[in-house]
Structure 1
Amino acid sequence: MIVYGIKSCDTVKKSTEWLKGHNLQFEFHDYKSKGISEEKLREWTSQVSWEVLVNKKGTTWKKLDESVKSNIIDEASAVELMKDHTSLIKRPVIEDNGRVLAVGFNEKEYAAKLT
């Protein structure tokens, strides 16, 4: 299992603590330091809507120019923006063998899908 996120993110910290508390093994991929490929983003958007992956509630989105925001109209434009601004990706994204298991942190969802 791979947990994608940003090390300093509180939601990622909650998620990884939950996983550790349930003795689940995972590898952590910090896309702030390691980046994220366009190919990986396209894999995710083929499984989960780009609207779910783009975090419009975060400060990174809020700081974007309105002209940039208004150009995010489809998967291609969203992938390009997420590739350039990894902080826009809702986190964490948890995958196993290339399959997205969860986006964000939700204990009930984790209990149902990860244990």
Structure 2
Amino acid sequence: MQIYGLKNCDTCRKALKALAGAELIDVREAGLPEGLLARAEAEFGGAILNTRSTTWRGMSEAERAGAPLDLIAAHPALMKRPLIEADGKLYLGWGKDTQAALGL
């Protein structure tokens, strides 16, 4: 099981602690595997973009108008976190729905 996020993100750390044996992959340092972000966008749509982040709030309207995948490629902190891949299935965020789907 892989958790894609940021090593200094509290939510990602909570997910890592709760999911024994999971591996945290820092998207700022390692990036995302080829095609994973496109798969996530196909499944979650615009929800993949974290519009509550300080990075988003610091962007101009013109910058925000870009395609979500391009924005995340340029600013990895804009990806909603964590993005969890388990047994070929993707989960986004660390809400009660994700925790229940993962058996927690």
TM-score (norm 2): 0.87
Per the alignment, in what secondary structure is the counterpart of residue 34 of structure 1?
Answer: coil
Residue 63 of structure 1 corresponds to which residue in structure 2?
Answer: 58
The answer to whether the 8 A contact 1:2-1:94 is kept is yes
Q: 1:103 maps to which residue? A: 92
Q: TM-score, normalised by structure 1?
A: 0.80
Letter in 1 for 2:4: Y
Cα displacement (A) at 1:13: 1.2
Partner residue, 1:80 = 70
The question of 1:93 aligning with 2:89 is answered no
Aligned-residue offset at 1:67: 1.0
Shift of 1:46: 1.6
Residues 48 and 92 in structure 2, CA contact (< 8 A), matched pair in contact too: yes
Number of residue pairs matched by the alignment: 103
Name the aligned partner's letter for residue 35 of structure 2.
E
- Please, what is the CA RMSD of the aligned residues? 1.6
Give 5+ residue unaligned stretches, structure 1. Answer: none
Q: Secondary structure at the match of 2:69?
A: helix
Which segments of structure 1 move beyond 3 Å, counting only runs of 4 or more? none
Q: CA deviation at 1:32?
A: 1.0
1:36 aligns with 2:32: yes
Give the greater-gyration-radius structure (CA): 1
CA-CA distance at 1:99 after TM superposition: 1.9
Over 3 Å counting, the alpha-carbon distance change for 1:2 and 1:68 in structure 2 is: same
SS in 1 for 2:8: coil
Q: Which runs of 5+ in 2 are unaligned?
A: none
- Deviation of 1:12 (Å): 0.8
Residue matched to 2:8: 8
Matched-pair identity in %: 31
In the other structure, the counterpart of 2:102 is 114
